[in-house]
Amino acid sequence: MKEIILDTETTGLSVSDGHRIVEIGCIELEDQIPTKNRFHCYLNPERKVSEKAIEVHGYTDEFLSDKKKFKDIVDDFLSFINNKKIIIHNAEFDLSHINNELSILGRPKLSKENIIDTLEIARDKFPGSSISLDALCKRYRIDNSKREKHTALIDCELLTKVYINLIDQKEPLFNFHNINENEKNNNINVKKKYNKKILEISSDEIKLHKEYLKNLNKKNFFN
């Protein structure tokens, strides 16, 4: 199953105040494992960036002035996320801005049915606790030292790790469906969900274990 981790940065908080997107970051996951497929762009919002927003992400009007506009990247963006679940932290914010940009171009809005909000998952798991991205990184001991500013791609990388922890997919999953007779005793087809090393047992270790079991069966534990 393919999913998309998504984050945006904007000129300000609310679309009702005319604020626009200045950055989009996406990371593709396949079975909760990041692939090499990413989508990232800075955008000219065609308006000034608020001072508070600059404090958050650091993108000035000058920096964004020569960047592409949303209309220039919309087809590539929609193609990248097409038919995939989209994972967002505080989805209401990002979705409102993305749908605002789509509406300006007369494009259909993204459906909430395809959105997974990690903020809602965290709220259910940790009621009454802080559930910001930084707080969840601290809870799961995820290094967020690179997050000096809120940037879409770095936030996506952090959210990927947070999401894996939130849904408890932290162990390798084993796929036994396509193991033939010659593979049963030697090679197990392992489909990893996480970066954990799986150790193979040597023939000497197997021999010693069999000898141990043989001696164990000879014992009478009732005497």
| Listed residues 166, 181, 206: the one ending a domain | 166
Do 23 and 105 lie in one domain? The reply is yes
Please give the pLDDT value at position 221: 41
Domain of residue 210, residue span: 173-218
CATH at 108: 3.30.420.10
pLDDT at 150: 87
pLDDT digits (tens, 9 = 90+) for 45-80: 999 999 999 999 999 999 999 999 999 999 999 999
Kindly state whether residue 60 falls inside one of the protein's structural domains.
Answer: yes
pTM above 0.85, yes or no: no
What's the total number of domains in the chain? 2
For the chain of 223 residues, list the mean pLDDT of each consecutive stretch of 10: 97 97 98 96 98 96 98 98 97 98 98 96 96 96 90 96 86 43 45 46 64 53 40
Backbone dihedral angles phi then psi of residue 98, each to the nearest 5 degrees: -65, -45
What does the pLDDT read at residue 222? 40
What per-residue confidence (pLDDT) applies to 198?
A: 44
Are 20 and 73 found together in one domain? yes
Q: In what order do the strands lie in the sheet with 33-42?
A: 33-42, 21-30, 2-10, 85-88, 115-117
Residue 7 lies in a domain: yes
**Structure confidence at residue 210 (pLDDT):** 61
Catalytic residues: 150
Three-class DSSP category at 44: coil
- The verdict on 214 and 104 lying in the same domain is no
Q: Cα(127)–Cα(208) distance, rounded to whole angstroms? A: 50
Residue type, 182: N
Do 107 and 200 have their domain in common? Answer: no
Q: Is residue 223 part of a domain?
A: no
CA 197 to CA 95: how far, in whole Å? 38
